Structure 1
Amino acid sequence: MTGTSTRTRAHVSAAHELAVIGRRRRRRTAVVLAGLVLVILATAAFALLTGPFAASPLTVLSTFWGGGDPATQTVVLTLRLPRIVAAITFGAGLAVSGALFQSLTRNPLGSPDVVGFTSGAYTGALIAIVTVGGGVGATITGSLVGGAAAALLVGSLAAGGNGGRTRLIVVGIGIGAMFTAANHWLILTADLDTALAAAVWGAGSLNGLTWGQVVPVSVIVVVLMGCAMAGSGRMRLLEMGDDMATALGVRIGRTKLMILAVGIGLVAVVTAIAGPIAFIALVAPHLAKRLAPDRTPIVVTGLMGSVLLLVSDTVATRLFAPVQLPAGMVTICLGGAYLLWLLGRQARTR
């Protein structure tokens, strides 16, 4: 009896400790979510109020309610606000896409810009721009086809053989390099105006976006992120290995196809409008896991991507004003600095 009661108390104590740990982690996740939202709101307010055409908070608020002079309405509602909304939604879409591919490949480098999917989507969008003159529908369609083609090539060439997940990354880097070469050839052979526009757009830029471009793409991104959130439970089970996931009732083939389709859709629609914005898909999931390490929810990863792209675009437009740099140039600098820091930290721990 004494042994049974001791074991019972031990089980109760362990369950209580797990419950306490769970509550702490949930509180930490809530704090992280609140902090990310505050950073987004503060950065958005700064982007709305500052710049060559400065405006006071009261002026911006009155503009939202239909007041203000025509110049203020144009700057705030037509130029700045679509860009801010695009940075928030596009950044979230890229971050969630990176999280999906890292979960699918079970590799921290398995982001779409590393395994070649972003380059493939860029190629498809370029072909649409060069052949039919662009347009939102044609560019998105071309980007989706290019991303799917890249995924098909990488999947077929990486299947079989030795190396497993490392083979997938290596093959993806090679396919991405091929698509990058094709992109350079398309730009060099296009007419001058198209080549100049494609070159600027290819750096990853939110310059000149309108509500007609931002709204449909943002709606698609939100819908796809909802699909990712709905399948997040199966994704976590899949990360435990195919055999364990199958034993727990997960349909492996269907789940992987869903992850692949949603991930490609997210990166393709964003690339079609804003160009290939590098490193958001790679870095955002890592940062989200560091802030909320226990089963990082999709929403934390998405908000982290929104913060990274919104801050990067604000820096790009304000640091060298009135010159507006592509946001992709800043994300490359931030991503490169993060990778250098990460490599240095791993070297010190060894």
Structure 2
Amino acid sequence: MTPSGTAPDVTPPDSTVLRTTTLSWLFPRRSALAAALLVPLLLVLIALAVMASSTGMSPAQTLSGLLGTGDPGSVMIVRDFRLPRVLVGLMVGAALGVSGCLTQTLAGNRLATPDLLGVNEGATAAVVASAAGSATGMVGGWWLGPLGAVAAAALVVLCAGGAGGRGYRVLVVGIGVSTFIGAVGDLVMSRQNDNTAGGVFLWAVGSLNGRDGGVGTPLLIALLFLLPLSLAAGHHLQLLRFDDDMAASLGVDLRRLRAAALALAVALAGIAVGVGGPIAFVALAAPVLAQRLSGATRVPVLGSALTGAALIVAADALGRVAAPVELPVGVVTSVLGGPFLLWVLFRSDRTTRKA
């Protein structure tokens, strides 16, 4: 109690309590402001990505093609190829951002990504197997990626003794399993012909080329189901800032919570990798940037989705105009992700020294 006899105010400084007659809700002001700023930024990036082209189309031609009033060639390029690709990239980025947010929160480490759960290697191994078993050397369906990712993550959890324990144990085991799966995949690829290797390589670096509604529709359905669950999981994961006994006293089953969050992270990352390939650094960078915007008291699930979507859309557009030939989105994120990783490491080192 305060000296005046009233209860102390325990409301977080970045939040406002909204009350009705029987209910109250803690409204996160800073997170809401960050989302309100990210949404128009994302819309601007989508518009620029639709206009970005190496074909020499002017903005006026692009707009007429989008509205359907231009020549048939412009309409086909914008509506059938460019716009679906941008929208698929947006959803892939959102899935990677949320997946990275969940794994970083579980591990308590900003460098933890779904890659360490074997997602990328498992998806790649499944695609390599489909191409190696094909007479034409063509990469199989997008759904092979999620299947391989889930199988690899299940192997990691099994070797780690379950998903309900502390997150770092699963991630450490994941490094070993991922390395092994990656080595087996490289061995299989080394014995394939040039056509098969070339078909897998473009997917393996991360590319949105040719992505359309055929993959966009199931991806959208998956996100409509998984994102609300991830938002609910992120709300409960805020209790991981306390020790296990404190969280348990608040009525939270930590083993089930960690297992559910890990399953959501694997499902989101597996779907994203299956559609766009193992695009690097987005799952690492999006949650870190979202955390800077929303503050340290929140698990920025929504912010990570918006930031991841913005990163993919911007990187894909940049890859189409930054070089004489189109650069896959995974190459662009890898080039930009290296300096970002160094920034994260140096910042963490400075923060540790100050502490």
1:22 to 15, 27, 30: 15
How has the CA–CA distance of structure 1 residues 246 and 78 changed in structure 2, closer, same or farther, with 3 Å as cutoff?
Answer: same
1:19 Cα offset (Å): 6.8
Higher helix share: 1
1:316 to 298, 319, 342: 319
2:52–2:317 contact (8 Å) kept in structure 1 = no
How has the CA–CA distance of structure 1 residues 259 and 330 changed in structure 2, closer, same or farther, with 3 Å as cutoff?
Answer: same
- Please list the CA deviations of residues 78-116 of structure 1 after superposition, one character each: whole Å capped at 9, or x if unmatched: 221112111211001001011111222333232111343
How has the CA–CA distance of structure 1 residues 233 and 179 changed in structure 2, closer, same or farther, with 3 Å as cutoff?
Answer: same
For 1:293-332, list aligned pairs within 5 A.
293=295, 294-321=297-324, 323-332=325-334
Q: Percent identity?
A: 34
1:251 Cα offset (Å): 3.1
For 1:183-332, list aligned pairs within 5 A.
183-293=185-295, 294-321=297-324, 323-332=325-334
CA distance in 1: counterparts of 2:301 and 2:348, whole angstroms = 26
Query: 1:180 and 2:177 equivalent?
Result: no
CA distance in 2: counterparts of 1:18 and 1:244, whole angstroms = 19
Look up the match of 2:85. 83
Length-normalised TM-score, structure 1: 0.85
CA distance in 2: counterparts of 1:209 and 1:223, whole angstroms = 21
Look up the match of 2:4. 7
Look up the match of 1:48. 50
2:88–2:212 contact (8 Å) kept in structure 1 = no
- Please list the CA deviations of residues 138-181 of structure 1 after superposition, one character each: whole Å capped at 9, or x if unmatched: x41x3233223322332233349xx9655443322222111221
How has the CA–CA distance of structure 1 residues 228 and 345 changed in structure 2, closer, same or farther, with 3 Å as cutoff?
Answer: closer
Amino acid at match of 1:249: G
1:89–1:222 contact (8 Å) kept in structure 2 = no
Look up the match of 1:131. 133
Comparing 284-293 and 294-303, the one that deviates more: 294-303
CA distance in 2: counterparts of 1:328 and 1:254, whole angstroms = 34
- Please list the CA deviations of residues 231-269 of structure 1 after superposition, one character each: whole Å capped at 9, or x if unmatched: 332222345344333322223343333222221111111
Q: In angstroms, what is the RMSD of aligned CA positions? A: 2.8
CA distance in 1: counterparts of 2:192 and 2:71, whole angstroms = 42
Look up the match of 1:107. 109
2:15–2:30 contact (8 Å) kept in structure 1 = no
1:118–1:276 contact (8 Å) kept in structure 2 = yes
1:20 Cα offset (Å): 5.8
Comparing 338-347 and 279-288, the one that deviates more: 338-347
1:77 Cα offset (Å): 0.9
Aligned residues: 337
CA distance in 2: counterparts of 1:297 and 1:341, whole angstroms = 20
Look up the match of 2:24. none
- Please list the CA deviations of residues 168-199 of structure 1 after superposition, one character each: whole Å capped at 9, or x if unmatched: 43322222111221221232233432210101
Amino acid at match of 2:206: G
How has the CA–CA distance of structure 1 residues 347 and 243 changed in structure 2, closer, same or farther, with 3 Å as cutoff?
Answer: closer
1:223 Cα offset (Å): 2.1
How has the CA–CA distance of structure 1 residues 34 and 59 changed in structure 2, closer, same or farther, with 3 Å as cutoff?
Answer: farther
2:90–2:313 contact (8 Å) kept in structure 1 = yes
1:205–1:275 contact (8 Å) kept in structure 2 = yes
- 2:154 match: secondary structure: helix
- 1:74 match: secondary structure: helix
How has the CA–CA distance of structure 1 residues 108 and 21 changed in structure 2, closer, same or farther, with 3 Å as cutoff?
Answer: closer
For 1:138-177, list aligned pairs within 5 A.
139-140=142-143, 142-159=144-161, 165-177=167-179
- 1:220 match: secondary structure: helix
Q: Which runs of 5+ in 1 are unaligned?
A: none
Amino acid at match of 1:194: T
Amino acid at match of 2:318: V
- 1:31 match: secondary structure: helix
How has the CA–CA distance of structure 1 residues 128 and 172 changed in structure 2, closer, same or farther, with 3 Å as cutoff?
Answer: same
How has the CA–CA distance of structure 1 residues 281 and 20 changed in structure 2, closer, same or farther, with 3 Å as cutoff?
Answer: closer
